[in-house]
Structure 1
Amino acid sequence: MNLRIILFVLALLAFLSASIGGFLYYSSLKESALKEAERQAVAHADMVKKNFSAFLSESIRPTKTLAGMHALKDVLIQSDESNLASANAMLDHFQETLNTDVCYLMDPQGNTIASSNRNAPDSFVGKNFIFRPYFQKAIKGHSATYLALGITSGKRGAYYSHPIYSDNIKSPVGVVVIKMPIERTEKELGPDLDRIVLVTDPRGIVFISNRKDWLYHSLWKLTENDVSEIAESLQFGRGPWVWIGLEQKNNNHLMDRSGNTYLFHKRQLDNYPGWHVFELRDAKAISKRISDPIISVTGPIVLTLCLLIGLSVFLLYRKASYEIARRKAFEKALQESKERYRTLYLNTPAMLHSIDSEGNLLSVSDYWAAALGYRREEVIGRKLTEFFTENSRKYAEETFIPAFFKTGFSKDISYQFVTKTGEVRDFLLSAIGIRGEDGKIKRSLAISFDVTERKRAEEALKNAKEALSLYSKDLERQVKKRTEEISSILRYTPAFVYIKDADGRYMLVNSRYEELFGVQNEMIRGKTDYEILPKDVADQFRTHDQKVVSVKNHCQVEEKILQPDGLHTYLSVKFPVYDESGNINGVGGISTDITALKKAQDQLRLLSGSIMDEQEKERSALARELHDELGQVLTALRIDSSWMLDRLKEIDPKSALRALSMCELIDKTIEEVRRMAFRLRPGVLDDLGLIDALEAYATDFERRTGITCVFEHADVPDVSETLATAAYRIAQEALTNAARHAAASHIEVKVEAQNGGLLLNVVDNGKGFNLFELSESEGFGLAGMRERANLAGGELEIHSAAGKGTRIVCNMPIDGGMS
């Protein structure tokens, strides 16, 4: 009776353990699956957001391109049949190429005058869309993107609009619109099996969804004001916008009217404030997805477990006898020990073998046979030494095996095996002897380790050490050679060289420095500039050294040093010295005497200034001659031609037409002569000053080239003729370069007075260039601008990079000096 109670209690405990374990397993699996579902939902929501944002942005650039087409500008300026046909052809081309719903063109009053669907029943031609926000933004000069339901077509779409400008009109003359279909993107959302994907506007109206019955429904309850605004905008048709019935329970869950719970995640659409991507997962579907596999998998397991428990109870009952149980336990333990030993011996990942006193193989492990490429049957009974190399075989038969069977122990014996494929491999062997009842060693138990790769590595390491030794010696030789070369450079260079520590104390100077300042290297080491140099020179050195440390980069400066033969100018290149950690621990400098070069530059500058003055005089004289002499002659010809035209109108119509052509040709020639005179030397520069001259030139430049040129100026005082001419010519050259080389569409010219100087900025949006890759001929214009700025006492900077446009900044003193 007691045995039955014990067995019953054991069975009950086993059942409870299995039940608790199953519950814990199910709970853990459910939690893990919910987390995985949430992670997948977040990833899918991010993917939908990314794809939809890419879709919304892919047609912005084509819309801008379409807005720049001359065919659309022409029909907006002059709406005749030829221009309208060209515009419709252009709209058709873009519609077919981009695979859009429709491309159409509107005038400033919002009327559609051309459309790619002009022949369709739902044609937009003649329709007025002035109420649409995308038109209202575009006609004000801004690009726009708008999501809405088409009023005419009844189809959803993404609308992209862009203003159209005429060459001579600053405000837009019309708006071009591209409508992309939404359905193509909506198909990528997939079916709504257990995942619902929504795209909603700021008020919660469902505009895109993989659940069709939710389209144009409201995700949240709408106020009367919301309904009124939505109806007035016509963005989503004329309603009604029924509430889906969802309410938010917490941060991640929604509940509908039927009590169904959804796990949801939302993401904000890029560049569309208030528009969100929602992803909803049915909580019941997620739980069912978890429970069904568990039931199908764990059901048989539970049934099997119950059967095993019953079987165990039966076996325990049958083994109630202590003697039988002990005997069977011993037998079982012995059998398991044998099996473990056999398994360990045969399957261990090491080379195990056993030989008798004659050296014949009694057993080998699977790993032993596999390592040498044999089957076990092929090696059992053969001598172990048959698989050795000749040297290893001789050592084993004459020394190792006889000694082992006397001592019964060996460790780390090195020998070589030959595999079945003929490969020689190195091994280390350790073995113990197994003795019989008579105390003599009957067999061995040996383990071998493959050390082939280790020996190869050791050999490679040895070779590497030898190579490293040779390399070190060669490196020492090169260092010695470079040291001698550097010492020679420091000793014989005409420049003076020095290195200072972080506190400005000298660590090294070359022989030229010693000669120039009358000091010795040993005397100056550890001292600062103020201890060995005049104060004005020390101030220069210290200021420039601190600049290098502050900017953490090299710099190039000019320094003045008074020498016995007069004041000398030195071009100094100063650079930071870094320690092993990458921190600045000193400053180095190389200074070259450029006094003679500076004098030559001054003389060259004076010569260049004289040449430019002569050029301006020659330009002015030539402009006057063109205007006064040639202009008067052409005017006289124009008067005579007009007289001839009046006389010939009635008596000779053909000759009258020729006279009319002569009048038009003379008018063009007079205008061209005026332009040439203006470009040579604008009279407005001499009569009205720099600002009016630049404004006139910018207007003429925009008219000639078609490039938008914006001129701005602040309160600029009257400047000298030299400064005005320099600023005018620099701006003229900059605009000419932008038109010839930059392929720019927009240029800004700005002139202002700043800190006692005249600041000129010319900025274009062209393709830019690399200053260091210009050929010598290509750089003449830039060099001329720099020369004019230098002659006026100023400086010119050029900032440009490929694809980023060009910016030219010129700063010149108004009254001979700038702060």
Structure 2
Amino acid sequence: MPKEDTRLRLLFGLLAAMAVVSCAAGGVLYYSTLYSASLEMAHKESVEKLTGVGRDVDIYLKWSINSVRILAEIKELTGAIPQGGGVAGATDMLVHYRNVLKADVCYLMDRSGTVIATSNHNSPQSFLGKNYKFRPYFSRAIQGEASIYMALGATSKKRGVYFSHPVGSLRGNPLGVAVIKMDITEVEDKLETLDSGIVMMVSPRNVIFATNRQEWMFNLLWQAPEPWQKEIRQSRQFGTGPWPWTGMTQMDENNARDANGHIYHMDRVPLSNTRGWSLIYMYNQDRIYERMVAPLRRTMGFGVGAICIIFGVVVWVMFRQANASIEQRRAAETMIRKSDEKYRGLVSSMADWVWELDGQGRYTNCSEKVESVLGYKPEELTGKTPFDFMPEDEAQRLRTVFSRIVEAEEPFSNLENWNVHKDGRRVCLLTSGVPIRDDSGGLAGYRGVDSDITDRKIMEETLQEHQQWMETILMASPGPMVLYDAVGTPQYLNRSFTDVFGWSLDELKGRRIPFVPEEEQAATAEQLRILIGK
């Protein structure tokens, strides 16, 4: 063999090894980028979901406090105190109100905190004659302030949300207090929409009042100092205890560690209609990895190995075409790197706004967030419909969908729709809403929230373009290329392979290609065995 050929073979052997290393490094870089982007996307999705749940809970609490305000103004209740007459009429009204609202119990208290009428008057656990003046919901309401209070029932031993409102007035002072106790399951159903991780409703002193992890119920999320525990015990808000510590330790604003050393990402959303209460959502980052990245890694493993093998064999055997192949590979790696940089740059924040529609589907109220989403001030939307801000074909599609929703008078969630920003650009929104009822129970409109998911849609389109681009690169390669499965059977080959070797993909289905010279087979088999780790 001429000396020049030996040197050339050695040179291209080194190039083959460099190609394999480059592919492996590129795979590691791509995997690392995908892992980081997946965690970031999971974080943004959790914040979006938690904010939506918090908004739903706040809407429910606001609706309930309005219900007790209406109850407190009914004449059957104002006439029952302070003289004590008309208690029977008040009892009938409380029973009726409980049935309409599907509440746990409705009751009326006089100025001393004693229950003088209640919807559960026939129950073995009747509140009638009980005195609850120690409850903050009574002390606040008797001073003229409506109140929301979450606690374990002193009599029923059941968790609930208490809504209280002052009743009547005598020389500027309330005559008594009307109370509606709602079952906590109304709130827990909303928490269940977060289908992974740990979601909790937590008191100002970090007592877990509602959660999808039942063993944490009435536990202290963080280790509490003795004065806090004494305050919890004296309030009787959460029973008589004990209130064990979950073992969680807060590391910083967004991270916590459990007793076994596992790290959890944490998001917190305050509840605006309560004093110091909040929703907290925790998830283990390792589980996010298993759910989002590991399946893709397992799927890509064989493909990456096959590509490395093909690059080495092609450069070693077809060395006269190596220079062109190397330049092509470098160009492809540059485009992949740019595509990865573009993918990382597509992570952006999402903006939400709350809205209300009347019975004709026209905006009656919008939060200030609409200006950052669509560019319009809230007052510019008043009297208009959501379809006025959509392209014509999208508006026609959404009218059909929304007509079915209105006809069924049912809530809806995660409805994707395209809108036109004030500056002319298209904005994709994710819309959810619940019906608004009038006094007679009829449909008076809808209330809901819109989230801007335009960036996410753009990211999906970019990834699809990247996949199409990779397929184009493989087809346009001047060198023969073939992809194998795990057992060495061809799965794909380009046009150059057919031109050089004469085989088509149909002819090679289920077969192995005997293209390695006989004198090179032993060495090639050993190299392949080392590369694939078998």
TM range (shorter): 0.5 to 0.7
1:226 maps to: 228
Residue 8 of structure 1, CA deviation:
2.1
Look up the match of 1:69. 74
1:98 aligns with 2:101: yes
State the alpha-carbon separation in 2 of the partners of residues 201 and 158 from structure 1: 13
Q: Which has the higher contact order (CA 8 A, sep 6+)?
A: 2
- Structure 2 Cα separation of the partners of residues 67 and 114 of structure 1: 13
Q: How does 1:393-404 map to 2 (within 5 A)?
A: none
Q: How does 1:327-726 map to 2 (within 5 A)?
A: none
Counterpart AA for 2:127:
F
The structure richer in helix per residue is 1
Map of 1:208 onto structure 2: 210
| 1:761-800 correspondence to structure 2 within 5 Å | none
Alignment partner of 2:135 out of 118, 132, 145: 132
Show CA shifts across 1:155-212 (max 9, x none): 211111111125x653222111011111122122227763211111111111121221
Provide the rounded CA distance (Å) in 2 between the counterparts of 1:106 and 1:196. Answer: 38
- From 271, 289, 292, the equivalent of 2:291 is 289
SS in 2 for 1:125: coil
User: What does the per-residue CA deviation read over 1:683-714, in whole Å, with 9 as the maximum and x for residues that have no partner?
Assistant: xxxxxxxxxxxxxxxxxxxxxxxxxxxxxxxx
Identify the residue that residue 261 of structure 2 maps to in structure 1: 259
Shift of 1:113: 1.4
| 1:400-450 alpha-carbon deviations (Å, 9 max, x no partner) | xxxxxxxxxxxxxxxxxxxxxxxxxxxxxxxxxxxxxxxxxxxxxxxxxxx
User: Given that residues 165 and 172 in structure 1 are in contact (C-alpha distance below 8 angstroms), is that contact kept between their aligned partners in structure 2?
Assistant: yes
Task: State whether residues 192 and 211 of structure 1, in contact with CA within 8 Å, keep that contact through their aligned partners in structure 2.
Answer: no
Given that 1:192 and 1:210 are in contact with CA atoms closer than 8 Å, whether structure 2 keeps it comes out as no
* Unaligned stretches of 5+ residues in structure 2: 1-5, 325-534
- Mind listing any 5+ residue stretches in structure 1 that lack a counterpart? 320-324, 330-819
| Residue among 177, 180, 183 paired with 2:179 | 177
Pair 181,19 (structure 1): closer, same or farther in 2 beyond 3 Å? same
The structural deviation recorded for 1:271 is 3.5
* Partner residue, 1:42: 47
- SS across alignment from 1:199: strand
Moved more, 53-62 or 94-103: 53-62
Report the alpha carbon displacement of residue 296 of structure 1 after superposing the two structures with TM: 2.4
| Other-structure match for 2:168 | 165
Contact 1:187 / 1:210 at 8 angstroms: preserved in 2? no
The answer to whether the aligner puts 1:59 opposite 2:61 as a matched pair is no
Q: Is the contact made by 1:7 and 1:316 (CA closer than 8 Å) also made in structure 2?
A: no
Match of 2:92 among 69, 73, 89: 89
Match of residue 26 from structure 1: 31
Aligned partners of 1:50, 1:306: CA distance in 2, in Å?
51
| Residues 194, 285 of structure 1: 8 Å contact kept | no
Mapped to 1, the partners of 2:99 and 2:292 lie a distance apart of 48
2:84 to 79, 83, 99: 79
Counterparts of 1:159 and 1:76, CA distance in 2: 21
Post-superposition offset of 1:258: 0.6
Residue 275 of structure 1 deviates from its aligned partner by 1.5
Mapped to 2, the partners of 1:198 and 1:295 lie a distance apart of 33
Q: Which residue in the other structure is 2:458 paired with?
A: none
* Letter aligned with residue 26 of structure 1: Y
Partner of 2:189: 187
The residue number in structure 2 matching 1:311 is 313
Report the residue type matching 2:26 in the other structure: G
**Amino acid aligned to 1:281:** Y
CA distance in 1, matches of 2:191, 2:239: 23
Per the TM alignment, residue 94 of structure 1 is displaced from its structure 2 partner at its CA by 0.8
Any conservation in 2 of the 1:194–1:282 contact (CA below 8 Å)?
A: no
8 Å Cα contact 2:149/2:161 also seen in 1: yes
Corresponding letter in the other structure for 2:65: I
For residues 250-304 of structure 1, what are the alpha-carbon distances to aligned partners after superposition, in whole Å with 9 as ceiling and x for unaligned? 3321110011111111122214232221111111111222431332231121122
Deviations 1:448-486 (A, max 9, x none): xxxxxxxxxxxxxxxxxxxxxxxxxxxxxxxxxxxxxxx
Question: After the TM superposition, which segments of 4 or more aligned residues of structure 1 sit over 4 Å from their partners?
Answer: none
Larger Rg: 1
- Name the counterpart of 1:13: 18
Which residue does 2:123 correspond to in 1? Answer: 120
Residues 49 and 194, structure 2, Cα contact 8 Å, conserved in 1:
no
Following the alignment from structure 2 to structure 1, what is the Cα–Cα distance between the partners of residues 217 and 193?
15
Structure-2 change in CA distance of 1:192 and 1:141 (3 Å):
closer
Please give the per-residue CA displacement for 1:705-755, whole angstroms capped at 9, x wherever unaligned.
xxxxxxxxxxxxxxxxxxxxxxxxxxxxxxxxxxxxxxxxxxxxxxxxxxx
Superposed CA deviations along residues 473-526 of structure 1, whole A, max 9, x for unmatched, are xxxxxxxxxxxxxxxxxxxxxxxxxxxxxxxxxxxxxxxxxxxxxxxxxxxxxx
TM-score by length of 2: 0.57
C-alpha contact 1:253 1:264 (8 A) present in aligned 2: yes
Matched letter for residue 291 of structure 2: R
Residue aligned with 1:76, SS: coil
Letter in 1 for 2:14: V
User: What is the identity, as a one-letter code, of the residue corresponding to 1:224?
Assistant: E
Q: What does the per-residue CA deviation read over 1:320-355, in whole Å, with 9 as the maximum and x for residues that have no partner?
A: xxxxx89xx9xxxxxxxxxxxxxxxxxxxxxxxxxx
Structure 2 Cα separation of the partners of residues 251 and 112 of structure 1 = 44
- Using the TM superposition, name which of 191-200 and 60-69 deviates more: 191-200
Tell me the residue number matched to 1:268. Answer: 270
**Counterpart amino acid of 1:240?**
P
Q: Within 2, Cα distance between the matches of 1:151 and 1:50?
A: 29
CA contact (8 A) 2:211 2:217 kept: yes
Q: Is the 8 A contact 2:110 2:176 kept in 1?
A: yes
Match of 2:395 in 1: none
Question: Are 1:149 and 2:155 matched, yes or no?
Answer: no
Give the direction of change, closer, same or farther, for the CA distance of 1:254–1:105 in structure 2 (3 Å limit): same
Deviation of 1:310 (Å): 4.0
Report the Cα offset of residue 314 of structure 1.
4.8
Counterpart secondary structure, 2:22: helix
TM-score (ref. length: structure 1): 0.37
For 1:291 and 1:298, how far apart are their aligned partners in 2?
Answer: 11
**C-alpha distance 143-41 of structure 1, shift in aligned 2 (>3 A):** same
**AA of the residue aligned to 1:124:** F
Q: Secondary structure at the match of 1:147?
A: strand
Cα deviations by residue, 1:614-667 (Å, 9 ceiling, x for unpaired): xxxxxxxxxxxxxxxxxxxxxxxxxxxxxxxxxxxxxxxxxxxxxxxxxxxxxx
Query: Over aligned residues, Cα RMSD in angstroms?
Result: 2.1
Once the two structures are superposed, residues 3-42 of structure 1 have per-residue CA deviations (whole angstroms, 9 ceiling, x without a partner) of: 4422321221011100110111011111111111111111
Tell me, what secondary structure is at the counterpart of 2:293?
A: helix
* Contact map agreement 2:34 2:293 (CA 8 A) in 1: no
Give the distance between the partners of 1:137 and 1:29, measured in 2 at CA: 53
Paired positions, count:
318
Amino acid at match of 1:74: G
